[in-house]
Amino acid sequence: MSEIMMSVSSLNTKIKSLLEATFMHTLVEGEVASVTYHTSGHLYFSIKDDKSSIKCVMWRSSVVRMKFRIEKGMHIVVEGSVSVYTPRGEYQFQTVRIEPYGQGALALAYEQLKKKLKQKGYFDAERKKAIPKHIQKIVLVTAKESAALHDMLKIIQQRWALLDVVIVDTLVQGDEASFQIARSLHYADTLGADVVVVGRGGGSAEDLWSFNEERIADAIFHMQTPVVSAVGHEVDVLISDFVADLRAPTPSAAMEMILPDSRELLYMLNELNERYHYTIAQKLQQLIQNLKHIEALVLRSSPTRKLQEITIQFIRLENEFKRVMAYKLEHYESIIPTLVKQYHHTITFVLEKKLQNLMFMEQKIVTNNPKLQCRDGWAKTSVEGKIVTLSELKINQKFILEDAFAKIEALCLNKI
């Protein structure tokens, strides 16, 4: 029996050729046993059933197209081919697409993102901004050639034609749509509008998927301007609807929800005008009745008679005043001579008294004048400012003699 001998490398190479040629575009279902999202962007994981497992890899170029993240324990279906790493003789399943088993990938991605954003508080009612009642400026973020824009502009023209409308053109479908929509929302937030409406018309789940992207949710969440999400039809509920401050079932419905109807306002103004005229007429009628009642009271009170009575009373008081004043004047005229006489007598008495006091003071001043206190021939003797007696003086000692009128310096020549 002849045997063909080959090297390890040759064997691995033949196995590689055989496996990769046999297992191309293969679908495999199983449970995720382990998963690693590498920093390089590649995805390494393994799947298993109740008897065995297989290692799998998905390169970055395929990972970026996935709408959801796989997790340990998830039941999935992978599509790809078997590849062999010949240096180590190992094989793995090279994956190009992953789908959740029995469930669409978009549906799973939708639920995963919805759960994540809800935990972050993106859907909380208390953070939602109120839509202004009186809107003067609005920004529409949508495709400029879309039917949705046409419908919104039509409703605006019908309901509130005075509105200032700014259109921000953007892609609303495709791989680049979410980037453009997020950028357009950031720009719209700088335009000073009262409200921003973002949306598009109906379509498939794939067509509307851009509004389920996390970057759109982030853009809406961080906007300062109130945002209305108006995407698809009423049955289409997207992530943007949960994050926005108001969800509208369609673009047209969004305009009807946030804009007043000019015809309804005109009807309301007309009704208010009628109610105003009716109320004014009622008030005038009531005032007329009150005026008539007051007029009757005035007539019954006879203000002319009251005025006559007051006039008579005034004349009486005037006469009484004149009589009292005449009596007072006559009384004061009679006592004036007596008062004048008393005045002159009092003045004369006071002057005499003051004159006597003056003479007394003059006499007292003369009496108390120190210059007149000394008798003639007498003088004060002092030495160096100190008063001394004559007996205290010494021969040839200088001294001062001082009376009331003179002061001399003397010398003691002899003592007798």
Tokens coding 86: 């010949």
pTM: 0.50
Q: What is the pLDDT along the chain (416 residues), one digit of tens a residue?
A: 456 777 788 887 888 777 777 777 888 888 888 999 999 989 999 988 888 889 999 999 888 888 888 888 888 888 888 888 888 888 889 999 888 876 666 777 788 888 889 999 999 999 999 999 889 999 999 999 999 999 999 999 988 888 999 999 999 998 889 999 999 999 999 999 999 999 999 888 888 889 999 999 999 999 999 999 999 888 888 999 999 999 999 999 999 999 988 787 778 888 888 899 889 989 999 998 888 888 777 766 767 777 777 888 888 888 888 888 888 888 777 788 888 888 888 888 888 888 888 888 887 776 666 665 556 677 788 888 888 888 888 888 888 988 777 889 888 888 87
Domains of the chain: 8-103 (2.40.50.140), 134-260 (3.40.50.261), 371-416 (no CATH)
* Distance of alpha carbon 410 from alpha carbon 397, whole angstroms: 8
